[in-house]
A and B are shown apart, each in its own frame.
Chain A
């Protein structure tokens, strides 16, 4: 087997294009993945038409002047605003694809906001958003980006208004200074007025009609004090009616970028291993050497083992280089390097076994490569379908199918090695071992009829 392995490495060495692809592919992919994970996405460009008159961006609430432009900043946190003067100009930019969408702030936005807050009628201003729906992906990005930023702006404004309303209610409760239309007032407040009333009652003859009437006012005052004391909590609850508590009940939480690293490494491992194992086995048939080899020089199982070992020997270093390359950009736990190696080796053996099964069935390099692509790509996509995104029964079927191919356990092994996720590395390696044995058996059966 040693000589066959050396022979295959010699053949690979004399196929410079293939070797270049084998070396360049993981390097390029690792740099691309590293860059895309380490740098945030560019802000999408959104045209903004501000129809507000200059200086008309402020309004007054509870005696305090608020500037709308301060809250508009929330809106522009994750977009790159392109200011234009007219609606027509904005439409042209959206149509040309120069911007993802356009946001139009109407001239009376501040006034409508003031009216809504003062409860003098009106539902608040309506901001207009323009999209280009030619490209559904762009539309979705524009919609979700602008909507989410609008929600943030609404939340910031609502928080501020809640805070002001709370302060206003506190003045009513405790008393103090209050300014309105530039004039300062000293507000007595419910608590202080209660004290005044109680002192007045004490100065009246007990049981007099006047004292009884004032006592009724004191009782009402007390009720108002108790309920206004709760008002701050009520306002907070209205501002944020739903709270979320996150509890992980299954699986280790893996950051998205770390999981993306596991996915990309596993896909690379899969392609390099399956294509090499299937191609090099099919090459034995194509060169007519298979019959000569298996007539006592090497057993069929030995030949299969050699191809798996060859594919793993090439793919593991290639994907390890890729992982190290990604490690420059994304934080990886280098202390678990030995586990990375174990996961990659386990995955490579599983993929190699699948590869030789493909090569044994196809018996021709081109057919083997095509079959390898046709088989592995959909399986990889299926294995990445998250739970809850499809019907329950369909997900069970997908999970069962994925478990029959090495992609899912290999991904779980790499994820466990990189991110301590569950299922554990030994579990996934055992799964890969069972699959490798099954695919080797399938390949052996397919080779039984080969000459």
Chain B
């Protein structure tokens, strides 16, 4: 799925990022890159630092040390819980965030997002009346309003049913095909295997592996059809 730019520069890069909360290290010198059009999954056990890494890349919190190549306004952010207003309609939510993002033509951006997410017919419905899947689509649409080169998604499919999940990944695939770098965190390693070009394995705030799912399976050996088993064995071998 990766479509590297002519200059070969990554869409986003993190260098030696650390984050300390009091005496606890949430991230320990994590470095990684995502190329334009590449889909990268950040996986790891609970408390590994996945959400912390994504929130630092999104500019929600600063790292204790290390660098991030892009500013927050250049990155689309889709938090795990829909960060939209339930008392506003779909169109009002999109228009509000388009204005806050200082998009040149907010109305055109809203129309484009309604079209892209297939929610044009529900444009005037209050968010509170929409299903969880549709709310998540609006949540993603808000992240894409400024047409960012990088989209960060925190557990995007966690509240969706299988059919909604399938449609979400189709949507993300189409984005990547258009050259948007997509970085998402997930607990569902099956999704990482199916939809990611590359996985970043985090454990206890440390980056243990980065490469394709196939590379990870090859690293631990065993049944190449069972990525989840390979992932668990990998963590076990690394003492996690």
Residues of A with Cβ closer than 8 Å to B?
3-4, 7, 10-11, 14-15, 287-298, 451
Contacts and interface: CB of A to CB of B under 8 A. Distances in A.
B77 A292 contact: yes
Contact of B84 (A15, A289, A290, A296): A289
Interface stretch (B53-61, B108-116, B163-171, B213-221): B53-61
Contacts of A15: 87
B60 A289 contact: no
A1 B133 CA distance: 30
B61 A289 contact: no
Interface string B143-168: 00000000000000000000000000
A451 B86 contact: no
A287 B84 CA distance: 6
B65 interface: no
Contacts of B44: none
A288 B82 contact: yes
Given A288-B82, A289-B83, A451-B60, A295 B88 contact: no
Nearest to B101: A297
Interface on chain B toward A: helix, strand, loop, or mixed SS?
Answer: loop
Contact of A10 (B61, B88, B142): B88
Interface string B98-111: 01110000000000
B55 A291 contact: yes
A324 B101 CA distance: 42
A292 B83 contact: yes
A7 B85 contact: yes
Contacts of B96: 3-4, 7
Given A7-B88, A295-B72, A287 B59 contact: no
Nearest to A293: B100
Contacts of B55: 291, 451
A15 B142 CA distance: 24
B79 interface: yes
A295 B59 CA distance: 5
Contacts of B82: 288
Interface residues of B, number: 26
Given A3-B96, A297-B100, A291 B86 contact: no
A292 B79 CA distance: 8
Nearest to A7: B96
A4 B81 CA distance: 20
A334 B92 CA distance: 42
Closest 3 A/B residue pairs (Cβ): A296-B72, A288-B83, A295-B72
Interface centre among A11, A15, A289 (most CB of B within 10 A): A289
A295 B60 contact: yes
B240 interface: no
Nearest to A15: B87
A178 to B, nearest CB: 92
Nearest to A3: B99
Nearest to A14: B87
A291 B82 CA distance: 11
A291 B142 CA distance: 13
B213 to A, nearest CB: 29
Contacts of A4: 96, 100
A390 B17 CA distance: 59
A293 B142 CA distance: 11
A11 B85 contact: yes
B71 interface: yes
A259 B82 CA distance: 49
Contacts of B20: none
Contact of B83 (A7, A10, A11, A287): A287
A291 B100 contact: no
B56 to A, nearest CB: 10
Nearest to A292: B83
A12 to B, nearest CB: 9
